[in-house]
């Protein structure tokens, strides 16, 4: 592909430029509810496996979003362990439904 072809290429931009670096998920999260607060997607649910930290990534249906913040009982927490019911505040959007189990990846 020549220089001009690359310069004027249209329609090939990926809508979701985030990539998963690690191949193996470090945890799983079950979604109980998905809502939007102040323009950010918030997933409420339970951590099933692994320890989840802010800056980790969640993946559902080939879409990826970064965990911006984690809240437990309306307080910020540094991590979430298995069995914790938490709210994951995301940067970006993924399409999820109730009872979906999504994978969590290390950044």
Instruction: Residue 100: give its domain's CATH number.
Output: 2.40.30.10
**Is residue 44 a part of any domain in this protein?**
yes
pTM for the whole thing?
A: 0.78
Average pLDDT over residues 26-47: 94
Residue 80 confidence (pLDDT) = 95
**Is residue 92 a part of any domain in this protein?**
yes
Q: Which domain holds residue 43?
A: 18-105
Average pLDDT over residues 81-97: 94
The whole-angstrom separation of Cα 94 and Cα 63 is 6
The model's pLDDT over 8-24, given as tens digits with 9 standing for 90+, comes to 665 555 555 666 666 78
**Is residue 101 a part of any domain in this protein?**
yes
For the chain, how big is the Rg over CA atoms in Å? 16
**Is residue 8 a part of any domain in this protein?**
no
pLDDT of residue 81 exceeding 60, the answer is yes
pLDDT band at 46 (very low <50, low <70, confident <90, very high): very high
**Is residue 10 a part of any domain in this protein?**
no
- State the chain's maximal CA–CA distance in angstroms: 56
Residue 6 confidence (pLDDT) = 61
Residue 62 confidence (pLDDT) = 85
Looking at the 3D structure of the chain, how many domains does it have? 1
**Is residue 3 a part of any domain in this protein?**
no
* Cα distance from N-terminal residue to C-terminal residue, the chain: 32
Burial-class residue 100 by CB neighbours within 10 Å (0-12, 13-18, 19+).
middle
Residue 23 confidence (pLDDT) = 76
pLDDT of residue 67 exceeding 80, the answer is yes
CB-based contacts of 75, cutoff 8 Å, min separation 6 = none
């Amino acid at each position: 592909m020549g220089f001009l072809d690359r310069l004027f290429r249209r329609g090939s931009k990926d809508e979701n430029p985030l990539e998963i670096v690690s191949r193996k998920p470090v945890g799983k999260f079950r979604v109980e509810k998905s809502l939007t607060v102040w323009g950010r997607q918030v997933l409420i649910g339970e951590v099933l496996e692994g320890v989840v930290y802010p800056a980790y990534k969640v993946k559902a249906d080939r879409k990826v979003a970064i965990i911006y913040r984690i809240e437990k009982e309306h307080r910020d927490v540094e991590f979430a362990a298995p069995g914790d019911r938490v709210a994951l505040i995301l940067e970006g959007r993924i399409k999820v439904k109730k009872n979906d189990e999504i994978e969590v990846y290390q950044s």
